[in-house]
Amino acid sequence: MSTVATRPIRRAVRFYTAPIGKKAVMALTGVILFGYIVGHLLGNLQIYSSDPDQINRYAAFLHSPSNAGLLWGVRLLLLVAVVLHIIASVQLWRLKHAARPIGYVKKDDVPSAYAARTMVWSGPIIAAFVIFHILHLTTGNVVPLRELGPNAPDVRYNLISGFQHPAIAIFYIVAMVLLCMHLYHGLWSMFQSVGISHPRYTPKLKKAAAVCAILILIGEISIPISVMAGLLTY
Amino acid sequence: MELNSKCPTGPIETRWDRHRFSLKLVNPANKRKHSIIVVGSGLAGGSAAATLAELGYKVKCFCFQDSPRRAHSIAAQGGINAAKNYHNDGDSIYRLFYDTVKGGDFRSRESNVYRLAQISVNIIDQCVAQGVPFAREYSGYLDNRSFGGAQVSRTFYARGQTGQQLLLGAYQALERQIGAGHVEMFPRTEMLDLIVIDGRARGIVTRNLLTGRVESFVADAVVLATGGYGNVYYLSTNAKGSNATAIWRAHKRGALFANPCYTQIHPTCIPVSGDYQSKLTLMSESLRNDGRVWVPLRQGDHRPPHQIPKSERDYYLERRYPAFGNLVPRDVASRNAKNVCDEGRGVGESGLAVYLDFHDAIDRLGKHVIRERYGNLFDMYERITGEDPYQVPMRIFPAIHYTMGGLWVDYNLMSSIPGLYVLGEANFSDHGANRLGASALMQGLADGYFVLPNTICDYLASNRFEPVDASHAAVRDAENQVAEITRRLLDAKGTRSVDSFHRELGALVWEYCGMSRTAEGLKHVLTLIPELRERYWREVKVLGSDGELNQSLEKAGRVADFFELAELMCIDALHRNESCGGHFREEYQTADGEAARDDRHFSYAGAWEFRGVGNAPELHKEPLEFEYVHPAQRSYK
Amino acid sequence: MRIVLHIWRQRNTNERGRMVRYEVPAVNQEMSFLEMLDVLNEDLISKDEEPVAFDHDCREGICGMCGFMINGVAHGPIRGTTVCQLHMRHYHDGDELYLEPWRSRAFPVVKDLVVNRGSFDRLIAAGGFISASTGSGPDGNAMLVPKQVADRAMDAATCIGCGACVAMCPNASASLFMGAKVSHLGLLPQGQPERRRRVLAMEAQAVEEGFGHCTNIGECEAVCPKEIKLEVIARMNADFIRASWGGRDIEEDESEAAKRPRAGSRR
Ligand SMILES: Cc1cc2nc3c(=O)[nH]c(=O)nc-3n(C[C@H](O)[C@H](O)[C@H](O)COP(=O)(O)OP(=O)(O)OC[C@H]3O[C@@H](n4cnc5c(N)ncnc54)[C@H](O)[C@@H]3O)c2cc1C
Ligand code: HEM
Ligand code: HEM
Ligand code: SF4
Ligand code: F3S
Ligand code: FES
């Protein structure tokens, strides 16, 4: 083997060894996860369609055997992204603790960047949510799911019956708030992490990130709230 | 002792070249066999240590701060001179040379000053190459300004932080050599004695300020670049840690101390606000370009400034010096401020301040122009005093700022002890009796980057250096001396803190050997200082031990040296029966109150030899000759 | 006015420290914060108690020697101000203040409020320089630097190396300090040849010293006495990513670098 082949590996190792490299990985995987969230949200919002079958048709389309390759491709990409995102976050979290073994007796936060400082908490809770969420809506381990046919879940029913349990709905809402906080910081932070910053545009970017995070929050929690309020019924 | 300045002769333009050619070189392969100790990491020490290491010598560098980047050179604001003549306004090496000799009131060596002006050009090139972000014009060319009353624009600057940027350049060059293993750096390590063996400087004794450990280091040559001694006065624009210990202890080992009474007072500092005051802060001299200096006409006029009508104000500098006005040199501006305050016309609570008023300039140019020019200085003033200088005039007062005196060195920068070199503000070399603005940075870097690395090889090549080990009697002796001083300070177990003594000493020196001096006052203070010194050794109280970080103990040793140095300053001031530059003797002034030099009797550098504490030192004179610039009375009328 | 202080007292690196309460009864409005501590120390000395150790030198906000936490904020409450430039007129009678040293693995406490910041020097030694040996520079005007670029380089170059950014950062990251140096040198044309090597070496050294990473929280920017902007961190990140993946020169450079002695963690 020539050194030509090993060099990219060596570069990758050196890159990832550095905290900046890890952060770049977090940013990149963050973008993938964010892209998924947006797409997923658009899918979910179809529940408001005047045609009650719309969302189920969409689900059937996604699950159709002809799309299986794509589906598993996306699932794999997401899995890899989540795993890398989590591994990097855990490594950085450990670095943080090693870097300040003795804490302050008194510490103030200026500016009070609450969302930024709580990324390590909002992240794992989101992870826990996702596991719960898959058990709930994909595998049916939480409440029984209904199918309209093979590879055609009755998404509309599953959602509405799920959110009629207040505990489930509230957990979703809490998780969405945390996701919003995660994105509130993450969506501009990832630009900074890969070195994009500009005195004029970065402040605007921060605002855009906040708006985006809040829009996602509104979109997501509207569903459990609508169900609880009786606006969405099967 | 005969003082040989080793100054070359002949045409001044080629003296430095010819001199360098006459010096012996060290073979490149042999350089790494020579070890050099550099004490100090300021502009002078940092640049010297880095350059010597680049050349291949083995260097050890010491400083008392926690990092070499913190040397007090960092605080210089205004700029650095260089005879680049980028502005085509008539500047030249010769003019910079001329201005410096004249500005120094004809008390410096022509050869040295000419070399300084020549090298100034290379300094800028070197600093730009290192990445010093000098101010630029929109075209991308280097910007210059005129500074300190100079009539040409030859001052290079980096906002109001020129010293910082130049020092960081030298520091980074030094760190590069440290990283490469060519320099061993010893931060938080204070030099406490010089090791002299067979009449040659061979090493130093240090105290590790963190652990208290006393350690000796030996080398083939020792370089001191430890800055000025302005802190004799307690209140000065120097850093709190700035000290004379390294040069003073070298003086006690035989190095001559030249012109100690030449101290410079800066006219625009923020006045003292109370007896807790710990230091004085300089406001850049450039403020005098637009600010007008005044005091009330009437004594004891305590009205707020805006209630005093123009007709009842005395713009005394404009009145007395119509040609230069507010831009007269530092010493003249300072002395006049003192005079009006002595007349009881000073302003502020203490009565020890004059106004520097921007009202007219704001009317004429607009607030935004003033903000652009002096914004950061105005902010600093407001931060410290809580007053807004856009609204109320600044209050300023002179403060000790620079010391022209220092260890005597020859043209090679070697002191009277062979193998001991002295650079930067610590030596007496280039500024005569008064330093021009923006010239100290130039001198420090000239010494460190270009002079010493070219001259030290002659000494190294012409001498043989036998290895010295720690058990050598001279090493032991120096270590014992250091231990003895520490023991005496800790054992005094008196009642008063080090600072209280330092304040008292500073007040005495400021009163009698400050802005203006009299024979009578100096004689008087020469009885007070020894008395206070003896009280110090009896009554000082230093807590803690010597085996740890002990900031009181550090100060105590430095103050002990200030006592002895203060005495020498007064002796020097008393012997110099003339007024020149920063040394103003009230008995020697012209009819209209200007300094009166006495070239017939005092055209020499006065280098003092130590004869024991409390004994009269011995004066050695190095006559000064002026072949190019002929002494004349300075006039700014 | 009367000020109550709770100060971290620790004899040396190895012993444990604790907060001790002191009172300074007669504080003058015009005093600087450090002058108040001077007054406290004089009082302690008169009572045969050891004075509080704190670092300081220039007392005009430029040397970077001073610095500690006041009520959990590095350099205290006033923006763009070091503790030595902070004045007591910002406080009121009876205020209680907690003073603690910078806390970070890379800045071990030496005594009381004094820490060892040698790690910063080693970061610079690793690559924070332009290799221009004395005498090698061409004429100062041989290389033009647009004013805007020089100004931005200067903005970054004003860092005083105080360590407040590390102290304040929840991750104890030195990113603002490093970014400032990487930006200062990387913006200038003189700094281009070593731009890649510089950022790789400094980042590697930061790991070695035990600094944390940056999660773009921005507390460092808020307390930086020289108001260095977060932008410098982005610039460093970009340089790092580019240096890691771009160009083949860096690999040749690497094998060179492997032969060079490293800026070790000597003390
Ligand atoms: C506020 C201020 C503003 C100024 N502005 C200007 C200006 O605009 N232009 C200009 O040209 N000049 C200016 N000057 C003067 C100029 O800055 C200094 O003269 C010059 O920087 C001195 O440099 P140096 O290297 O000789 O000493 P310093 O920079 O003072 O360095 C001394 C070094 O010696 C070390 N040291 C000292 N004693 C010991 C010891 N006992 N043991 C071990 N190490 C020791 C210190 O740690 C330090 O590293 C200004 C000075 C001040 C105070
Ligand atoms: C849907 C899922 C997620 C999305 C869209 C997402 C997105 C992001 C983004 C964009 C960032 C900013 C990266 C940067 O600044 O470079 C980020 C940071 C972070 N994420 Fe996530 N994330 C998700 C899930 C998670 C999970 C499950 C965890 C934890 C286990 C996690 C932990 C973190 C942490 C700790 C950070 C901060 C790290 C840093 O800023 O350096 N995230 N995330
Ligand atoms: C209220 C908000 C949400 C609703 C109503 C919702 C709804 C659903 C539904 C109905 C499914 C099953 C789809 C199917 O099987 O075809 C699903 C799957 C999934 N959801 Fe959500 N979701 C929400 C929020 C989220 C969030 C915030 C995340 C990520 C952080 C997420 C990640 C996933 C994942 C990973 C799957 C599994 C996809 C797969 O099977 O490949 N969801 N979601
Ligand atoms: S970046 Fe700011 S806070 Fe950090 S060391 Fe530099 S000056 Fe201090
Ligand atoms: S506070 Fe810390 S996380 Fe980054 S932006 Fe500043 S270094
Ligand atoms: S003491 Fe120098 S910055 Fe505060």
Q: Identify the band that residue B330 occupies on the pLDDT scale cut at 50, 70 and 90.
A: confident
Spacing, Cα C85 to ligand 6 middle (Å): 8
Q: What pLDDT is attached to residue C266?
A: 41
Contact assessment for residue C173 and residue C212, using Cβ atoms and an 8 Å cutoff: yes
Question: How much of chain B exceeds pLDDT 70, in percent?
Answer: 100
Given a cut of 80, whether residue B477 has pLDDT beyond it is yes
Q: Is B181 left (phi over 0), alpha (psi -120 to 50) or beta?
A: left
Distance (Å, rounded) from C-alpha A79 to C-alpha A72? 10
Q: What pLDDT is attached to residue C250?
A: 59
What Å distances lie between residue B148 and B78, B98, B109, B437, B438, CA to CA?
9, 15, 22, 5, 8
3-state secondary structure of B587: coil
Closest residue of C to B86, CA-based? C141
Facing C71 at nearest CB: one of A108, A111, A192: A108
Q: What pLDDT is attached to residue B146?
A: 85
Compute the C-alpha angle B604/B610/B611, nearest 5°: 125
Q: What is the mean pLDDT of chain C?
A: 93
How many pairs of residues across B and C have Cβ atoms under 8 Å apart? 231
Q: Tell me the pLDDT tens digit for each residue of C75-100.
A: 999 999 999 999 999 999 999 999 99
The contacts of residue B164 (CB under 8 Å, 6+ apart) are: B74, B75, B76, B158, C62, C158, C160
Select which of B330, B533, B576, B634 is catalytic: B330
| Strands B58-62 and B35-39, bridge-based pairing | parallel
Given a cut of 90, whether residue B224 has pLDDT beyond it is yes
Given a cut of 70, whether residue C252 has pLDDT beyond it is no
Given a cut of 50, whether residue A171 has pLDDT beyond it is yes
CB A80 near ligand 3, within 6 Å? no
Q: Tell me the pLDDT tens digit for each residue of B338-377.
A: 999 999 999 998 899 999 999 999 999 999 989 888 888 8
CB A158 near ligand 2, within 6 Å? no
Given a cut of 60, whether residue C53 has pLDDT beyond it is yes
Q: Tell me the pLDDT tens digit for each residue of A138-167.
A: 998 888 899 888 888 999 999 999 999 999
Mean pLDDT value across residues C220-236: 97
**Contacts of C among chains (3+ CB pairs under 8 A):** A, B
CB C84 near ligand 6, within 6 Å? yes
Q: Tell me the pLDDT tens digit for each residue of B531-565.
A: 999 999 999 999 999 999 999 999 999 999 999 99
Active site residue B159: no
Mean pLDDT value across residues A118-135: 94
Distance (Å, rounded) from C-alpha B555 to C-alpha B566? 16
Token digits for C243?
Answer: 């240096």
Q: What pLDDT is attached to residue B314?
A: 96
Given a cut of 50, whether residue C265 has pLDDT beyond it is no
Given a cut of 50, whether residue C221 has pLDDT beyond it is yes
- Residue C8 Cα, gap to closest chain B Cα (Å): 16
The contacts of residue B569 (CB under 8 Å, 6+ apart) are: B232, B260, B261, B263, B405, B509, B513
Q: What pLDDT is attached to residue A1?
A: 39
CB B238 near ligand 1, within 6 Å? yes
Q: Identify the band that residue C260 occupies on the pLDDT scale cut at 50, 70 and 90.
A: low
Which residue has the CA at smallest separation from atom 3 of ligand 6? Answer: C61
Q: What is the mean pLDDT of chain A?
A: 93
> What ipTM was estimated for this complex?
0.95
Q: What pLDDT is attached to residue C267?
A: 37
Contact assessment for residue B294 and residue B601, using Cβ atoms and an 8 Å cutoff: no
Question: How much of chain A exceeds pLDDT 90, in percent?
Answer: 81
- Residue C186 Cα, gap to closest chain A Cα (Å): 14
Q: Tell me the pLDDT tens digit for each residue of C123-177.
A: 999 999 999 999 999 999 999 999 999 999 999 999 999 999 999 999 999 999 9
Closest CA to B466 of B203, B259, B230: B203
Q: Give the residue, out of A93, A119, A130, with the most ligand 2 atoms within 8 A of its beta carbon, to mutate for a pocket test.
A: A119
Mean pLDDT value across residues A158-178: 95
What Å distances lie between residue A152 and A72, A156, B351, CA to CA?
16, 11, 92
Q: What pLDDT is attached to residue B200?
A: 98
Least confident range from B489-493, B611-615, C261-265: namely C261-265
Spacing, Cα B241 to ligand 1 middle (Å): 11
Of residues C204 and A233, the one with the higher pLDDT is C204
C88 at interface of B, judged by CB pairs closer than 8 A: no
Q: Identify the band that residue A234 occupies on the pLDDT scale cut at 50, 70 and 90.
A: confident
Distance (Å, rounded) from C-alpha A162 to C-alpha A143? 7
Q: Identify the band that residue C254 occupies on the pLDDT scale cut at 50, 70 and 90.
A: low
Q: Tell me the pLDDT tens digit for each residue of B557-586.
A: 999 999 999 999 999 999 999 999 999 999
**Residue C213 and residue A15: Cβ atoms within 8 Å?**
no
Q: What pLDDT is attached to residue C249?
A: 57
Q: Tell me the pLDDT tens digit for each residue of B413-446.
A: 999 999 999 999 999 999 999 999 899 999 999 9
**Contacts of A among chains (3+ CB pairs under 8 A):** C
Token digits for C210?
Answer: 């035990």
Q: What pLDDT is attached to residue A2?
A: 43
Facing C204 at nearest CB: one of A18, A99, A111: A18
Distance (Å, rounded) from C-alpha B533 to C-alpha B526? 11
Q: What pLDDT is attached to residue B285?
A: 84
Q: What pLDDT is attached to residue B594?
A: 85
Facing C104 at nearest CB: one of A100, A110, A189: A100
Instruction: Name residues 153-172 of chain B within 8 A of C (Cβ).
Output: 158-159, 161, 164-165, 168, 171-172
Task: Determine B/C contact with 3+ CB pairs under 8 A as the test.
Answer: yes
Given a cut of 70, whether residue C22 has pLDDT beyond it is yes
CB B451 near ligand 1, within 6 Å? no
Q: What is the mean pLDDT of chain B?
A: 95
Given a cut of 90, whether residue B458 has pLDDT beyond it is yes
Mean pLDDT value across residues B5-18: 97
Given a cut of 70, whether residue C244 has pLDDT beyond it is yes
Facing C263 at nearest CB: one of B122, B179, B282: B179
The total number of residues written for chain A in this structure: 234
Least confident range from B72-86, B573-587, C239-253: namely C239-253
